[in-house]
Amino acid sequence: MLFEKYSIRVLLLAMMFGYGSTVSAQTDRTIAFEGVENGRDLGGLVMQDGKAIRPGMLVRSGNLSKATDADVAMLKERFHLTNVFDFRFEAEANAAPDRIIDGVSYTHLSTLPQKLVAGFASGRSDSAKVDTRDLGAILTKMAQAPQAQTMARQLYPSIVTDAQSQRYYGEFLRGVLRAEGGTLWHCSQGKDRAGWAAALLLATLGASRDVIVQDFDLSNQSYAQQVEALSAKVRQQGGDDEAVAFIRAMVGVSRENFEKTLDLIDEKYGSLPAYVQNQLGFTKKEQKQLRKKYLTAK
């Protein structure tokens, strides 16, 4: 079967290489990078207590491997960048290394569960035979496989319940707290692992669930054309709503899967703030310091 042949390795290759982003819509927080996908500033988002995140300090994006001179200048001048957090696993980072910016500290924290990374590594020889230009065609075929659909639905729960991922996201929050200037975090396309980092940071700063979900869902604007094109192909091949949902989850983000995983956190850990404190080990004192550092006065 196609799924058995490619399984997790193709799904991770899709996460690594993506399809190239053409932003189809912008928000007032969109960052118009030349060579970096899916960039936006968390600045301006309003928390439940009425305070807002200071602009020009917290940036989420795709990887920096194709950052141009203009992008670097913007990051240094507009965002005063001092810290980058990279959530990719080793093979991803090696395939598309970040551009190194003078004076910036880089921290790698692979927040994908190790069992998935190990599954990819064990099939590197098979994976190498997959032409990334054919990933779209492969994914449209995989979209109708129940196993692939299940794997896509389980990605977010596997991330938030994994002990290593929890530890690394806690390190990320402490790194943001210690940063002397602007902070940028990313995975490959800046949508899933980077999206969870943003969600956890927003929850710590006091954002409502609606604000957290809306920010997460904005990645679908960056990848809208790719999602629509592959979804149309899936429909042409007789794919149903579940198949289209798989494409959205792999090429864009699945708001449904994200919200169900937020529900899982509530059920398993009590709430998102409780998860931050107890599972990520980010203390109440640190949370208070983070809010003081990044939020404006009312």
Task: Categorize the per-residue pLDDT at 122 as very low, low, confident or very high, splitting at 50, 70 and 90.
Answer: low
pLDDT in tens, 257-297: 999 999 999 999 999 999 999 999 999 999 999 999 999 98
What distance, in Å, lies between the first and last C-alpha atoms of the chain? 58
Tokens, residue 56: 């020009």
Determine if residue 156 is left, alpha or beta; phi over 0 gives left, psi from -120 to 50 gives alpha, anything else beta: alpha
Q: State the pairing for strand pair 81-86/105-108.
A: parallel
Task: Categorize the per-residue pLDDT at 146 as very low, low, confident or very high, splitting at 50, 70 and 90.
Answer: confident
Q: How far apart are CA 111 and CA 125, in angstroms?
A: 24
Average pLDDT, the chain: 89
- What is the length of the chain? 298
99 three-class SS: coil
Shortest CA distance to 86 belongs to which of 172, 179, 204? 172
Give the CA count within 13 Å in the CB-facing half-sphere of 9: 19
- At position 18, the amino acid (one-letter code) is G
Rounded to an integer, the average pLDDT of 205-234 is 93
User: What domains appear along the chain, each with residue ranges and CATH number?
Assistant: 2-294 (3.90.190.10)
